[in-house]
Structure 1
Amino acid sequence: MKRLLTFAAALCFLAACTSESPEPRVAVPDEGDPTWSVTCASGATPIDGVGDLELDCLGDEAATSVGPGGKPMIVVLWASWCVPCQEEAPEVEAFYQAYGDQVDVLGVDTADTRDLGRSFAEEFGMTFPSVFDPDEAVRIGLGVPGLPGLAYVNPDGTVAALVAEPGVTTESMVETAEAAFGLELA
């Protein structure tokens, strides 16, 4: 009996390990281009590891300096094909809606296509700006091994905290931002 249970457990384990990942929910709309268009503001300060990098704004394609302006910034690395990014998108948006006046949020659509990125942003109702980074310059510069990833960047461009694992929630973003930036978000 014990062998049968061990064999059954092994089969369940193998089935879980070999099952395919769920399909991404985002698709390019059938009719026309995505309509999502949030403009970006250029940051004044380069981010340590990233440097003086300009990327196209995902929303309006304007050249955008990647870095903080006058307040702390959370850089959110995401892509339309990233299933954990899909799960986290509403959490990041909720953080931005609640605390965007105190902490800037900049999305970085990473290793994606512009249309899929804009469709993703449209589907999840993202109101924070995002830049388009098909070559992964920001992810590589920050040393984030894969997606998703969040960098908590001080106004002087130093990275105060890095979260490089899935499962981010609005609450965890608040906790990390308060600790990283010495703020009490209200």
Structure 2
Amino acid sequence: MTRRLALLSVPLLLLVTTACTAGTEAPTPTRPEAAAGRPSPFQDCTALTAAPAAAGAAEDAAGGELLPELTLTCFTGGAQVALRDVRGPAVVNIWASWCPPCRKELPALQRLSERAEGQLRVIGVNSRDSREAAQAIGEDFGVRFPMLVDQGEAVQRALRRKFVPMTVFVDAGGRIRHVDTSGALDDAQLAELVQQHLGLTVAA
């Protein structure tokens, strides 16, 4: 684990709870298919266009913009995923391995995905990152939810926010109810935001 985490360290970055801005230095991205031979720790993306089994939040047709009209690659390979086809309720987290608050909140997002299974889904979007570093995070931090890859920051540009981490709360109709760029979210904050913006109660 020490060897892997050493790959993720960026000199002079402190573990803080504020968001990383677009000016933060990042490693040169590698193509998803250029992975090391290890199997992906993340789930595949085949189920993202089907609604959660027991989704409890009703679709609200009024207000809220739709997810961006973008198509992204799944970390595990296979068919590309159109964000507009992703069925909510969902919590979409845009992150990078070189961003300390991203690493800090990922375990809480993994716990949310386990506690809210069947009610909502948690989806990761790995942004402007190297595949090796992202894979090491998944392995060492136990992150298992489906992961999309956005090497060009297309999602951030479409949402007009150049921050990571960025967490997007999406209702059952695929409409954005809230975008959080406050920094690393913990279990209690995630549960509160899910309740407030998606009308779902999950354990903190």
Could you tell me which runs of 5 or more consecutive residues in structure 1 were left unpaired when the two chains were aligned: 1-18, 24-31
1:68 deviates by: 6.1
Specify the SS of the correspondent of 2:109: helix
Between 1:92-101 and 1:62-71, the stretch displaced more is: 62-71
Aligned length in residues: 158
Runs ≥4 in structure 1, deviation > 6 angstroms? none
Q: Report the equivalent of 2:45.
A: 40
Which amino acid in the other structure matches residue 59 of structure 1? T
Aligned mates of 1:117, 1:62 — CA distance in 2: 20
Conserved 8 A contact 1:68-1:154: no
1:173 deviates by: 0.7
The answer to whether 1:50 aligns with 2:42 is no
Specify the SS of the correspondent of 1:167: coil
C-alpha root-mean-square deviation of aligned residues, in Å? Answer: 2.4
Instruction: Work out which of the residue numbers 133, 138, 143 in structure 1 matches 2:160.
Output: 143
1:22 deviates by: 4.0
Q: TM-score, normalised to structure 1's length?
A: 0.75
Specify the SS of the correspondent of 1:162: strand
Could you tell me which runs of 5 or more consecutive residues in structure 2 were left unpaired when the two chains were aligned: 1-10, 16-35, 52-64
Question: Percent of pairs identical after alignment?
Answer: 25
Question: Whose Rg is larger?
Answer: 1
**Bigger RCO of structures 1 and 2 (CA < 8 A, at least 6 apart):** 2
Aligned mates of 2:196, 2:85 — CA distance in 1: 18
Query: What are the within-5 Å matches in structure 2 for residues 85-104 of structure 1?
Result: 85-104=102-121
Aligned mates of 1:167, 1:114 — CA distance in 2: 22
